[in-house]
Every structure is written in structure tokens, then in C-alpha cells.
Amino acid sequence: MQKLKTLNKRVNVYVADSLLCKGKGLFSAKSFQKEELVYEFEGEYIKGDLSNISNPYVLQLDIGLYFLPFNEGKYLNHSCEPNCKIVWENNRVLLIAIKDIKRDEELSYNYNTTEFEMGPDWFICSCGSNSCYKVIKGFKYLSKEQKYKIKDLILPYLYKFL
């Protein structure tokens, strides 16, 4: 992976009404190329088992380790055909483009690539993509075929569940 630069997050993204779901979403304020760093999250790490506690903004980084994004980062929504992925490296939680992204495009990632089990935060997907999963519950609930289809996007801790 390329060396990642520090960036001014608020120049790269903005919050507006989501096109993927009811509520707000995170949008690109400029164009990005595939594999480019789009956003670096600010937030706090939480240790423990949160699988049965509702907190829709939390990202799961490992078994028993979660990240609660602050600011605009919490408005990043799910899509079954996302344009970004979450990367956790050197204690940085990053949003990386997985395809070219145009200015003013809503940013998204597949929640199944970070969440093992979403507990009470599972939901009926409204992304409208051709490959929609319909129900988003976490990596644990995907078929073997679905898991292998997204294996290049998942966080490292999920590889043991392939």
C-alpha cells in the first residue's frame, strides 16, 4: 500500500442528506482516485463486547475492540456496492477509495467488512444496488460465497472466519 499522507479532513468531505438511507450521509468534496486516502477518522477506542449493545456509529476493528467515530465520520453509510473500504493500520482508522469517486458522490462502505455481528443494529438494506444483501447483520451471517466476494475489503480479524 502507498504511504498515506496526513490530510485536512474537512476539505475532503461534507455531510448532507443521504441518498442511501434516511438521515445524513458523508459526501466527497473533491474527486478521488482508486486507492487514495479519502478520510482519516477521529474518535475513541472502546474495549469490551458490544455485540448486544445498540450503537449504530461504532466500527468493529477486532473481537472486543471497537472505534467510535467523532464529527462527520459517523455519517458514513453502508452500501452493498461501496466506493470505499475501512483500513486500520498504525492505530489510524482510514477510509480508502476502492474505485474512482467523483466530487459530490456519497461515500459508503460495506458494513459486513468490519462488523462480525451487528446485534440489535442489524437492518434492512435500502442501498438499491443490483447486488444488495437485503439484510445487514454482519460478516458472521454471510454465505461462504458472499464472504469470499468481499475478502479483499474486510479487516484482518475477519479472515479467520472465511
* Residues 91-150: tens digit of each pLDDT: 999 999 999 999 999 999 999 999 999 989 999 998 888 999 999 999 999 999 999 999
Can you give the pLDDT at residue 10?
A: 59
For residues 10-42, b (16+ Cβ closer than 10 Å) or e, as one string? eebbeeeebebbeeebbbbeeebeeebbbbbbe
Q: Which residue has the cell 442501498?
A: 127
Asked if 39 and 13 touch (Cβ cutoff 8 Å), the reply is yes
Name which residue leads in pLDDT, 38 or 19. Answer: 38
Asked if 4 and 39 touch (Cβ cutoff 8 Å), the reply is no
Q: Which residue has the cell 479532513?
A: 9
Does domain 9-161 sit in CATH 3.30.360.10?
A: no
Name which residue leads in pLDDT, 3 or 82. Answer: 82
pLDDT at residue 159 is higher than 90: yes
What residue ranges do the domains of the chain occupy?
A: 9-161
Asked if 34 and 2 touch (Cβ cutoff 8 Å), the reply is no
Q: How confident is the model at residue 4 (pLDDT cuts 50, 70, 90)?
A: very low
Q: Which three cell numbers stand for residue 158?
A: 475477519
CA quadruple 13, 32, 110, 60: dihedral sign: negative
149 contact partners, CB below 8 Å, separation of at least 6: none
* Three-class SS state of 74: helix
pTM across the whole model: 0.90
Residue in 62, 101, 71 with CA at minimum distance from that of residue 83? 101
**What is the rounded CA–CA span in Å between residue 108 and residue 160?**
25
